[in-house]
Amino acid sequence: LTPEERPIKFMVGGHRLNLKKLGIDGETINDTYTYNPEYKAWSSPEVYDTTDRGRGNKGHEAEFADLSNQDKWALIEYLKLL
Helices (H), 1-81: 69-81
CB 26 within 8 A of CB 12: no
Q: How many distinct helices (H) and strands (E) make up the chain?
A: 1, 6
The residues, any chain, with a CB within 8 Å of residue 76's CB and separated by 6 or more, are 1, 21, 22
- pLDDT of 47 reads 93
81 SS3 class: helix
Tell me the per-residue pLDDT of 14-36, one tens digit each, with 9 for 90 and over.
988 888 877 888 888 888 999 88
Collect all residues with Cβ–Cβ distance below 8 Å to 62 and sequence separation of at least 6: none
Whether the full predicted model's pTM is greater than 0.85, yes or no, is no
